[in-house]
């Protein structure tokens, strides 16, 4: 995974989203977006003040962030929420889109996968479940990644491993 890789993180309102943003900003060129501009400015300021070398930028538009990005991470969005997918769909073609599932459970993961694939039919989707027992609202270091795209799964695993996560992958060899 090249350090020149640009990652768009869409949705940074929660603790776990901010943890992810902080970890990736230390290693990659990161573009952040959130509907709440105040939260967005706050997290950017916090990351830049951390004292570590960081490359992070607040974006005004999720489509612009996704357009520049090589990999898109969606966090905090319900799969029934089409608003974000409509905004990024045409600039997310053939890109890896990593979606953090809300909630837990394997069946939820697969149902969510199917829904997101319909919303972003030309994107290479990876669905992520937090497998650990982190404190409420916080991200553990144990993640399960599911996808029907083997190559995307390898890339996603390498990406998150590079910032300290333990990844279990699940390749589902059927179209969602």
Partner 1 sequence: MQTPFENIPVFFTGYNYWLSCSMFQQLFKSIREKVTATPEELELCTSFFIPKKLRKRQLLLQEGDVCKYNAFIEKGILRSYTIDEKGNEHIVQFALEGWWITDLASFLSGSLSTYTIEAIEDAELLVLTPEAREDLMERVPMFERYQRILLQNAYIALQARIAASLTETAEEKYTKMVTVYPGIVQRVPQHMIASYLGLTPETLSRVRRQISLRQ
Under the binding rule (CB under 8 A), the answer on residue 36 touching partner 1 is no
Interface residue with partner 1, options 18, 112, 127, 148 (CB under 8 A): 148
Question: Taking the complex as a whole, how short is the minimal distance between the CB of residue 139 and partner 1, in angstroms?
Answer: 27
93 near partner 1, rule: CB under 8 A:
yes
Residues near 37 by beta carbon (within 8 Å), at least 6 away in sequence: 58
Number of residues that make up the chain: 176
- Quote the least distance from Cβ 164 to partner 1, whole Å: 25
Cβ–Cβ under 8 Å, residues 143 and 160:
yes
With CB under 8 A as the contact rule, which of the stretches 72-80, 104-112, 145-153, 162-170 interacts with partner 1? 145-153
Q: Does 83 bind partner 1 (CB under 8 A)?
A: no
- CB neighbours (10 Å) of residue 105? 11
Q: C-beta of 38: minimal distance to partner 1 in Å? A: 26
Which residue, chain included where needed, has tokens 């969602």? Answer: 176
List 53, 80, 135, 173, residue binding partner 1 (CB under 8 A): 173
- For the chain, the helix, strand and coil percentages under 3-state DSSP, each to the nearest 5: 35, 25, 40
Residue 72 forms beta bridges with which residues?
A: 8, 97
Q: How many Cα atoms occupy the beta-carbon half-sphere of 161 within 13 Å? A: 11
Burial (0-12, 13-18, 19+ Cβ within 10 Å), 14 = middle
Asked if residue 2 binds partner 1 (CB under 8 A), the reply is yes
If binding is defined by CB under 8 A, does position 112 make contact with partner 1?
no
Stretch that binds partner 1, among 20-28, 39-47, 66-74, 158-166 (CB under 8 A): 66-74
Q: Which residues of the chain form contacts with partner 1 (CB under 8 A)?
A: 2, 4, 64, 67-68, 70, 90-91, 93-95, 117, 121-122, 124, 148-152, 173, 175
């Amino acid at each position: 995974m090249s350090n020149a890789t640009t990652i768009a993180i869409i949705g940074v309102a929660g603790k776990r989203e901010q943890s992810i943003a902080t970890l990736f900003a230390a290693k990659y060129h990161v573009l952040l977006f959130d509907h709440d501009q105040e939260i967005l400015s706050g997290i950017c300021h916090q990351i830049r003040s951390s004292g570590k070398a960081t490359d992070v930028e607040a974006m005004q538009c999720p489509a612009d962030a996704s357009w520049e990005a090589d990999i898109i991470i969606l966090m905090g969005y319900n799969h029934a929420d089409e608003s974000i997918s409509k905004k990024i769909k045409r600039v997310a073609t053939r890109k890896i889109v990593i979606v953090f599932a809300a909630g837990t459970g394997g069946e939820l993961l697969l149902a969510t996968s199917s829904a997101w694939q319909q919303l972003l039919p030309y994107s290479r989707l990876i669905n992520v479940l937090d497998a650990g027992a982190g404190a409420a609202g916080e991200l553990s270091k144990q993640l399960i990644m599911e996808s029907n795209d083997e190559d995307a799964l390898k890339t996603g695993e390498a990406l998150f491993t590079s910032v300290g996560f333990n990844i279990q992958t699940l390749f589902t060899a059927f179209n969602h």
